[in-house]
Amino acid sequence: MKVKFTPFIMLDGQANEAIRYYEQALGAQIVFKQTFGEIPDEGGTSPMTEEMKARIAHSVMVAGESELFVSDSEPSQPLERGDQVNICLTVKEVSEAERIYDTLRTEGKVLLPLQPLYFSPAYGMVTDRFGVTFQIFTERS
């Protein structure tokens, strides 16, 4: 089994500012950045405000040999203290994502059920029994 752990910083509208800051402070480079307004509309979701469209849905920064993910939360999902830093756990197989997700959610809290989304065949979020939030991401084959 190959698993990759990546720190994931979640902010409330300050992701662009944080990205600029980490570029300077860490010498990080942006290799991917997508706003909520750029996400494919797969089911006629409710219209977004201009403020929401400008928020960062996902970004990938590289500093040295390490990756750092930075994004904004959706305004309808306010962050609680301790939620700002998650661990993104990347696997290659859906079956492995299911096993990890099921184990972490035992005595934990499901934030987003494991499901196929436009960017992953199996993605979900869970806070484990110790209060650590994991994003389980399955790569596309």
Model confidence pLDDT, tens digit, residues 95-141: 999 999 999 999 899 999 999 999 999 999 999 887 889 999 999 98
Per-residue confidence (pLDDT) for residue 80, from 0 to 100:
73
* Nearest by Cα to 68 from 126, 134, 6, 131: 6
Residue 72 has pLDDT above 80, yes or no: yes
Name 75's Cβ contacts closer than 8 Å, sequence gap at least 6.
12, 13, 51, 52
**pLDDT score of 109:** 93
Structure pTM? 0.78
The string of pLDDT tens digits covering residues 75-85 is 777 777 667 88
Task: Give the domains, in start order, of the chain with CATH numbers.
Answer: 4-38+49-138 (3.10.180.10)
